[in-house]
Structure 1
Amino acid sequence: MAVLTFPDISADLKSAMPDLRGRLLANESLAPLTWFRVGGPAQILFTPADEDDLAYFLMRLPQDIPVYTVGVGSNLIVRDGGVPGVVIRLSPRGFGEVKAEGDTVRAGTAALDKRVAEAAAAANIGGLEFYFGIPGSIGGALRMNAGANGGETKDVLVEARGVTRTGERVTFSNAEMKFVYRNSGVDASVIFTSALYRGKIADPEIIRARMAEVQNHRETAQPIREKTGGSTFKNPPGHSAWKLVDAAGMRGFRVGGAQVSEMHCNFLINTGDATGHDIETLGETVRARVKENSGIDLHWEIKRIGVPL
């Protein structure tokens, strides 16, 4: 497949931001940063050193340049033509700290959901066990009200900090996050930087047993050893997405190197040589078949960014 490159604007950006401390790269491949291992390059990939560096960068970045944020790439399709503009990736070094105190846990948004659950458990804080089964980072969890195994982000979040597109620092209470099923109402241009959670002090054995249940469910019911993007579609009200996909006869269905998982029909997998186009086309084919079979519209849970090749 031909590789698209974008005009290199890195020198112009660096000259306009002499005090920038983070790493700024031009035409950097995004495929290694996603669990699907597909997709083209970012015109600019910026990894800020910390929140101050992020705010400085956004304040000085021309407003006509689009900005996208990626975490660990667990719920993401990058299209094969790449992503014009700037892709910001928060690193664990600058945004990965996790600290438990009393019945609260504060976490940087580059921290893995699983690590936050572990930190809570180590401090005998219950209520965050569901995060142990979510293969993403806290930034994505805030953006999509991530949940699993009976728990959701909205149940435990106290507040979230972030930076706006113009470099302003902001804080949102739980109510101001405007959480709904698998989404939040905060403007998409806000980049979350940290979150404060509150659980309940509980018996550590009960917490650990619950986490073991969550892990066992993942290992026995989900294709976690595959190159996958996690849950593909949101569950429609009153329905399970995987059951609708299965009823439409799509279990194991393939498009190029992409396949509907035999283990769990709401997971798409890269069997080895899939492109971003293969995976997205497979998802759209599944949506069409489900609509034809049941009359129900499935909506993507996986985030898709970039342009086709």
Structure 2
Amino acid sequence: MTLQDRLGDRLSGVRGRLKAGAEMAKLTWFQVGGPADLLFQPADEEDLALFLERLPEEIPVLVVGVGSNLLVRDGGIEGVVVRLSAKGFGAVERVSETRLRAGAALPDKRLAAAAHEAGIGGFHFYHGIPGAIGGALRMNAGANGVETVERVVEVHAVDRQGRRHVLSNAEMGYSYRHSAAPGDLIFTGAVFEGTPADRDEIRARMDEVQTHRETVQPIREKTGGSTFKNPPGTSAWKEIDLAGCRGLAVGGAQMSELHCNFMINTGEATAFDLETLGETVRRRVRDRSGILLDWEIKRLGRFAPGRSVEAADAAS
């Protein structure tokens, strides 16, 4: 009996799409990982709130976006995976001279494009981030010297009990690649603010971001973006390079030759290969410099039976 079968009539009235045993490999950029017990794509915020209100408290809930910085383990994900649809959560609109409202499923690049069209500066950095707004809000995504914290006015969310919340910038508790907002909140959208700017100047900055990304990052590979956060006072890629890990491979997983803080699936990698490679890199960097790199990629789900990856923290 699937989780959906067990829930039965509890979900009566829910309008979104439900799929048992959803293939998570099709929803992530690495294209690896086992199935989710149940995938739910809500029709809109009201539908999401109703679903969470009726879902038994003991069932785990995990929200995913476009899957660009996500590594799903080979044993799949227990409970419910919530994936916000573009139709219900992908809109963007101008709400004042310098403000935009965007849904959590909107790709970062589309927010940058909307700001350009509206003549609102300060959003060019999103043009080079391969994710969606929900993930940017959760991890304070940033690039080219600008972070999400500098643009957010307020964030809309739904909690595990189906209650709706509006959080201020301060309540999000932002720091480097981190938000202190409660982990059970599912962000549904946000209001952002920039500054008036010339469209040609905005376009030029967006082009700079794109050129830089195409030059130094393996954007045409199966990758998850930056693998590790930059440690204080240095760059993750420098420490990885100094530890001799540029091009290092485990099975079908490899640290990119072009940008060695990018981990890639060369074609036949498993999630086990990728996570093993990442922890091997962490161990070698720690042994050389004493720096223990923190994962920027989110690793989720269960290991396949009989397989597990020992974290470098555990071996220190």
**Displacement after TM superposition at 1:189 (Å):** 0.7
Which structure 2 residues correspond to residues 163-202 of structure 1 after superposition, within 5 A? 163-202=158-197
Could you report, residue by residue, the CA deviation over 1:150-182 in whole angstroms, capped at 9, with x for unpaired residues? Answer: 110000100100000000000110000000100
Cα offset for 1:100? 1.9
Kept in 2: contact 1:42–1:86 (CA 8 A): yes
- Between the two proteins, the alignment pairs up a number of residues equal to 303
Q: Which residue of 2 aligns with 1:51?
A: 45
Of 61, 72, 75, which aligns to 1:78?
72
The structure-2 alpha-carbon separation of the partners of 1:260 and 1:169, relative to structure 1 and needing over 3 Å to count, comes to same
Following superposition of structure 1 onto structure 2, how do residues 1-309 of structure 1 map, counting pairs within 5 Å? 7-101=1-95, 102-309=97-304
1:160, 1:196 within 8 Å by CA — same for their partners in 2?
yes
Structure 1: distance between partners of 2:3 and 2:153: 39
Q: What percentage of residue pairs aligned between the two structures are identical?
A: 62
Q: Which structure 2 segments of 5+ residues have no match?
A: 305-316
Deviation of 1:15 after TM superposition, in Å, equals: 1.1
Could you list the per-position Cα deviations for residues 110-129 of structure 1 after superposition, in whole angstroms to 9, with x for gaps in the alignment? 00000000000000000011
C-alpha distance in structure 1 between counterparts of 2:185 and 2:117, whole Å: 31
TM-score of the aligned structures, taking structure 1 as reference length: 0.97
Report deviation, 1:52: 0.4
Displacement of 1:17: 1.7
- Using the alignment, how far apart are the partners of 1:250 and 1:9 within structure 2? 42
Mapped contact 1:14–1:20 kept (Cα < 8 A):
no
> Displacement of 1:205 after TM fit?
1.0
| SS of aligned partner of 2:190 | strand
SS of structure 1 residue aligned to 2:155: strand
Query: What's the CA shift for 1:14?
Result: 4.3
- Answer whether contact 2:101 2:189 (CA < 8 A) is retained: yes
Report the Cα distance in structure 1 between the residues aligned to 2:3 and 2:209, rounded to whole angstroms: 45
The separation in 2 between residues aligned to 1:40 and 1:127, in whole angstroms, is 39
Structure 1, residues 61-97: CA drift from partner, whole Å, max 9, x if none?
0000001010000000000000010000001011000
Aligned counterparts of 1:89 and 1:33: Cα–Cα separation in 2: 9
Q: CA offsets, 1:217-262, max 9 Å, x none?
A: 1000000000000000000011100000000000000000000000
SS in 1 for 2:58: coil
Residues of 1 paired with 2:269 and 2:201: CA distance?
42
What amino acid sits opposite 2:83 in the alignment? R
- Distance between the aligned counterparts of 1:258 and 1:14, measured in 2? 40
Determine the C-alpha separation between the residues in 2 that align with 1:213 and 1:122: 17
- Structure 1 residues without counterparts, runs of 5 or longer: 1-6
